Amino acid sequence: MNNSFLDQVQWNDDGLAPAIAQDADTGRILMMAWMNRESLALSAQENRAIYWSRSRQQLWRKGESSGHVQELKDIYLDCDADALILKVKQLGGIACHTGRESCFYRVLNDGQWQTVDPVLKDPKDIY
């Protein structure tokens, strides 16, 4: 695969770009993570979401420990070329380490964050 597409991404000073994972079927936003050149290249090559873990300073193949792999359908680059959307099929139906479908499970209501999505699987049973 020709990796010249990587040169068109406007990476930040740390060599990263934000990547939003979106369910390819429902359009629901599942999570946000970071990608570097290598993780984006590997994602395109392997057809699965691979991110850069800032806390561990290493590649993070989504689902490598949980089994909740994100099968990659499409990759979009925004107009400023500095943010990505990954349209994915979320295997197992859980994207969040809290055991929920989405990492975006809280909504602001009257100045308070309210949890609106249930835990589908206890994280202790996942990791």
pLDDT of the chain, 127 residues: tens digit per residue: 788 999 999 999 999 999 999 999 999 999 999 999 999 999 999 999 999 999 999 999 999 989 999 999 999 999 999 999 999 999 999 999 999 999 999 999 999 999 999 999 999 998 7
Up-side HSE of residue 11: CA atoms within 13 Å toward CB?
15
- Predicted confidence at residue 65, as pLDDT, reads 87
- Predicted confidence at residue 2, as pLDDT, reads 86
- Order the strands of the 70-77 sheet from edge to edge: 58-61, 50-53, 29-35, 17-23, 84-90, 70-77
DSSP 34: E
Q: Which domains does the chain have, with CATH numbers?
A: 4-126 (3.10.20.810)
**Coil, strand, or helix at residue 22?**
strand
Whether the CA torsion 42, 61, 20, 29 is positive or negative: it is positive
- Predicted confidence at residue 22, as pLDDT, reads 98
